[in-house]
């Protein structure tokens, strides 16, 4: 009898014995009509399964780690109730999210011995420097505790993405994100029709908040669900060739759901960023230099041709029918002017991470929805000052340099998604880490992982890459 078979046999006997005792306990509780004991016994299997699942994750089971990753993405993104911007009380949803963060921290700490260097080296280490400074600035923000927790969430998302990419195949991790996005979009569409107060953006009409037409679903805002759907579309397109036949059927259905979510959310900036990135990714492949030049010339010529009709075109693209809505980025230019003025008051160290959430909504001339700078770069500048902005530029430049040197177009596309979307959105650096933050963390993690493999190869170390992951050799 082999040791593995003997262990499996012993586990079966133990589980059979425990199952028998549980059934006897249920029968006894039913006989005594003790509802409290019956409820506790009924919940024991779920607790046992949860403990067994966590043990699988901590022992290094890859399938269990992917399942935990998917579950955590959904739990950390979903919003099950509506409350005011300034309401920071602890409720069941906050506890659920804190529990999910705790699970991720526990897994990373369990693997800290083997992954410590992976967490802090390469391009990933440059981003940790930025997050460390954000944590420092949170101490002088208007709400130090919530903002510090928000920065810690950024760190956890970042480190767990690095862990997942170094531990699992790139394809498996991407599929987890696609499946999570599919669940969130399907649930959001269902809530949009079934519960308008939760699933739709509230508009201020005649002195009251009433559900509008834009879908926010179970993510809290139209831009959030739009970003989730846009990221899902981009990942499916970028990794389509990596998927098997059955997986492609699911991904094709997912794309339809993603576009439906984008249409209902009326979110334009995420899908615009995706279109630009996918076009560049197609044109700038090796051997397509002439096609890229032709595409660029055609784009410039088209732009010149439509200039006389620009007001009419912008009016059609806007929600209100006015070109001014597009030219002012739907009122963002007013917010940017205020943010720059605030930065000049504390230019070196800034107001603290997340400070705009408490300052802008009550600033004279602005409105309640102006909860952040609506620009990633201005958000970092006003929150972390010049120091934070320079650290951001260092992290971006390091990531782009190694991404182009390694030649990983897909990872670069994920990073550029956040950089382009950051022109009109402050996420992911406006609060707690959100779903679209994965575009940055996974892109950085993939580049950093391959950067580490290159360094080990140059040093003559024996490197065993993940399945189906070729090691890129450094240029001669």
Residue 452 tokens, joined: 């580490």
Mean pLDDT of 65-77: 84
The per-residue pLDDT for range 364-406, each reduced to its tens digit, is: 665 555 666 788 888 999 999 999 999 999 999 999 998 888 8
Percent of the chain with pLDDT over 90: 13
Question: Does residue 3 sit within a domain?
Answer: no
**Tens digit of each residue's pLDDT (9 = 90 or more) over 271-281:** 777 777 776 66
Is residue 469 one of the residues assigned to a domain?
no
Whole-prediction pTM value? 0.76
Residue 459 DSSP SS3: coil
Q: Are 177 and 441 in contact (CB under 8 A)?
A: no
Tell me which residue has tokens 């940017």.
336
Return the H-helix or E-strand segment holding 200.
Answer: strand 200-205
Q: Compute the distance between CA of residue 75 and CA of residue 80 in angstroms, rounded to an integer.
A: 10
The DSSP string of 103-139 is HHHHHHHHTHHHHHHHHHSHHHHHHHHHHHHHHHHGG
Longest dimension (CA), the chain: 84
In a domain, 4, yes or no: no
Summarised one tens digit per residue, pLDDT across range 414-461 is: 888 888 888 877 778 887 888 888 889 999 999 988 887 777 666 665
Check: CB of residue 378 under 8 Å from CB of residue 339: yes
Count of other CB atoms within 10 angstroms of residue 107: 23
Q: Give me the chain's average pLDDT, please.
A: 74
In a domain, 214, yes or no: yes
Helix spans in 328-375 (H): 332-345, 356-359
Q: How far is CA 433 from CA 40, 155, 372, 441, 472, in A?
A: 35, 9, 14, 11, 31
143-195 residue pLDDT tens: 898 889 889 888 888 888 888 888 788 889 999 999 999 999 999 999 888 88
Cα distances (angstroms) measured from residue 214 to each of 225, 261, 361, 426: 10, 10, 21, 20
Q: Average pLDDT for residues 13-30, to the nearest whole number?
A: 58
User: How many domains is the chain built from?
Assistant: 1
What is the Cα 91 distance to its own chain's centre?
23
Which range is least confidently modeled, 93-102, 217-226, 279-288?
279-288
- pLDDT for res 256: 92
Nearest-angstrom CA–CA distance, 22 and 26? 6
Contacts of 398 (CB under 8 A, 6+ apart): 123, 126
Region of 52 please: left (phi>0), alpha (psi -120 to 50) or beta.
alpha
Q: Is residue 206 part of a domain?
A: yes
CB atoms within 10 A of CB 471: 13
331 neighbors 116 (Cβ within 8 angstroms)? no
Q: Which domain holds residue 93?
A: 45-458
Nearest one of 258, 192, 189 to 226, comparing CA atoms: 258
Residue 367 lies in a domain: yes
């Amino acid at each position: 009898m082999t040791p593995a078979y003997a262990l499996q046999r012993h586990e079966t006997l133990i589980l059979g014995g425990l199952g028998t005792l549980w059934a006897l306990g249920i029968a006894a509780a039913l006989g005594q009509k003790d509802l409290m004991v019956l409820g506790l016994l009924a919940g024991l299997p779920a607790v046992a399964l949860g403990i067994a699942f966590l043990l699988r994750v901590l022992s290094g089971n890859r399938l269990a780690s992917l399942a935990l990753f998917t579950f955590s993405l959904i739990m950390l993104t979903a919003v099950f109730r509506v409350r005011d911007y300034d309401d920071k009380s602890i409720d069941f949803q906050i506890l659920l999210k804190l529990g999910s963060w705790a699970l991720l921290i526990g897994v990373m700490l369990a693997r800290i011995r083997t992954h410590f260097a992976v967490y802090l080296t390469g391009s990933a280490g440059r981003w940790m420097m930025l997050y460390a400074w954000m944590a420092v600035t949170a101490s002088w923000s208007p709400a130090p505790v919530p903002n510090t927790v928000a920065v810690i969430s950024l760190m956890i998302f970042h480190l767990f993405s690095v862990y997942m990419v170094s531990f699992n195949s790139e394809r498996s991790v991407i599929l987890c994100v696609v499946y999570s996005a599919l669940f969130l979009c399907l649930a959001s569409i269902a809530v949009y029709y079934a519960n308008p107060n939760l699933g739709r953006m509230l508009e201020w009409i005649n002195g009251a908040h009433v559900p509008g037409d834009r879908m926010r679903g179970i993510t809290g805002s139209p831009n959030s669900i739009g970003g989730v759907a846009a990221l899902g579309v981009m990942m499916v397109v970028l990794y389509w060739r990596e998927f098997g036949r059955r997986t492609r059927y699911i991904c094709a259905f997912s794309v339809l759901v993603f576009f439906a979510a984008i249409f209902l959310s009326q979110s334009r900036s995420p899908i615009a960023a995706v279109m630009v990135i996918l076009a560049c990714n197609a044109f700038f492949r090796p051997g397509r230099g002439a096609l890229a030049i032709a595409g660029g010339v055609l784009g410039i010529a088209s732009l010149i041709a439509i200039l006389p009709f620009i007001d009419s075109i912008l009016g059609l693209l806007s929600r209100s029918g006015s070109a001014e809505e597009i030219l002012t980025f739907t009122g963002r230019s007013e917010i940017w002017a205020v943010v720059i003025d605030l930065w000049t008051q504390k230019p070196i160290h800034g107001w603290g991470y997340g400070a705009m959430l408490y300052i802008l909504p009550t600033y004279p001339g602005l409105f309640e929805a102006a909860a952040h700078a609506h620009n990633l770069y201005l958000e970092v500048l006003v929150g972390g000052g010049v120091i934070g902005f320079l650290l951001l530029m260092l992290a971006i430049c390091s990531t782009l340099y190694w991404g182009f040197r390694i030649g990983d177009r897909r990872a670069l596309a994920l990073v550029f998604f956040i950089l382009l979307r950051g022109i009109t959105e402050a996420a992911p650096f406006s609060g707690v880490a959100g779903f679209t933050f994965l575009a940055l963390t996974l892109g950085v993690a993939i580049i950093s992982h391959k950067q580490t493999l290159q360094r080990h190869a140059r040093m003559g170390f024996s490197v065993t890459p993940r399945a189906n992951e070729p090691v890129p050799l450094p240029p001669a």
